Amino acid sequence: MSGSAAPGKVVTGAVDIGGTKIAVGAIDASGRVLGRAETPTAAEEGFDSAMGRVGDLLDSVRANAGVELRGIGIGCTGPVDPLSGEIGQVEFLPGWQGANPVATLASRFGVEVAMENDADAAVLGELQWGAGRGRRNLICVTIGTGIGGGIVLNGALYRGVGGAHPEIGHHVIDDSGPLCYCGARGCWEVLASGPAIAAHARANLPTDYPQRDTLTAAALCARARRGDAQARSEVERAGRYLGIGIANLISLYTPDAIVLSGSVMDSADLFMPVIRAVVRSNCTQVPANLVEIDVAALGSEAPLIGAAAVWRHRYTGDLQ
């Protein structure tokens, strides 16, 4: 528990549902985390068990921080139905399809609850309190185990047909590229996510390259930073693919800003120069020089802060 608040201060509750853990927190109007706790998801124990633990943790976080919850926002690994509050068929949450954390928490706490998938929660968090503050048109791209993103247009979260969440990680960059689990070839995600970067390096570096078979994207970046020419070449390649995807988003949406987050962006110093160069050379038909490309600002608590932003975006229209 950290921070302090006047007794009775009214804040937003936040729940970040992931495949391995669920974090809960109390977030104030400045996006500060006043208290937090987490529990293993243990999806196999069932939805009711997990929601019972989440409710108990929210209660104790609230009590310890001396605050009241005016609403609860949820970010959940997707797909989810943000309007009905139901969880879809989520690989990491077996048996939870159709379960409704919005209704469950609303009933327990007697407040309004809103849920979005975690990529949309991330863009709302950056919009409200992070690197996207003050933007009307903002795209947040998360590059980690996969590539996902959320899109804000005219200050509102963009939803597709039937409320669908666009999957920018599955836009095709190179249709002669590797087969993606979605069925297409050369999706952005199979070319430039962390595992994709590592897989290409493991398959293409010389067989005598040190620890070739266990290389991760992070290890590759560390070697590139130390001047290893082969690692640098792999990083350049990944940066080019990241850049092509970002350039495509700029050509399609010409947003005010694109904010990049996720574990691969821990090495933003290596990737950003290549990304910017690709954007400059590819985006000649739009004013790409006006589009800010920034690294996300909310850090390790971004998922919780984003979850709180989900509630504020839905129920207060309070964007800035």
Nearer of residues 242 and 268 to Zn ion, judged by Cβ: 242
x/- binding map, residues 185-204, to Zn ion, per CB under 5 A? --x-----------------
Listed ranges 3-11, 16-24, 179-187, 250-258: which one lies at the site for Zn ion (CB under 5 A): 179-187
Helices and strands, counts by H and E, the chain? 9, 10
Nearer of residues 115 and 198 to Zn ion, judged by Cβ: 198
Nearer of residues 54 and 180 to Zn ion, judged by Cβ: 180
x/- binding map, residues 142-171, to Zn ion, per CB under 5 A? ----------------------------x-
Nearer of residues 244 and 272 to Zn ion, judged by Cβ: 244
Q: Tokens standing for 142?
A: 């998360």
**Could you tell me how many residues of this chain bind Zn ion (CB under 5 A)?**
5
Listed ranges 17-25, 104-112, 149-157, 183-191: which one lies at the site for Zn ion (CB under 5 A): 183-191
Which bin fits 10, alpha (ψ -120 to 50), beta or left (φ > 0)? beta
Nearer of residues 164 and 182 to Zn ion, judged by Cβ: 182
Asked whether position 223 contacts Zn ion by CB under 5 A, the answer is no
Handedness of CA 222, 227, 232, 233 (dihedral sign): negative
Interatomic CA distance for residues 193 and 309, integer angstroms: 26
Name residue 148's beta-bridge partners.
142
- From residue 176, alpha-carbon distances to 11, 96, 194 in Å are 50, 36, 20
**Chosen residue from 1, 63, 182, 290 binding Zn ion by CB under 5 A:** 182
Residue of 19, 24, 21, 162 lying closest to 11 (CA atoms): 24
CB of 189 to Zn ion, least distance (A): 6
Amino acid (one-letter) located at 56: D
Residue spans of beta strands (DSSP E) within 131-251 = 138-143, 147-153, 156-157
Nearer of residues 41 and 77 to Zn ion, judged by Cβ: 77
**Chosen residue from 80, 87, 141, 180 binding Zn ion by CB under 5 A:** 180
Residue 89: CA count within 13 A, CB half-sphere: 0
Interatomic CA distance for residues 174 and 191, integer angstroms: 9
Listed ranges 31-39, 93-101, 106-114, 175-183: which one lies at the site for Zn ion (CB under 5 A): 175-183
Residues lying near Zn ion in the complex (CB under 5 A) are found at 170, 180, 182, 184, 187
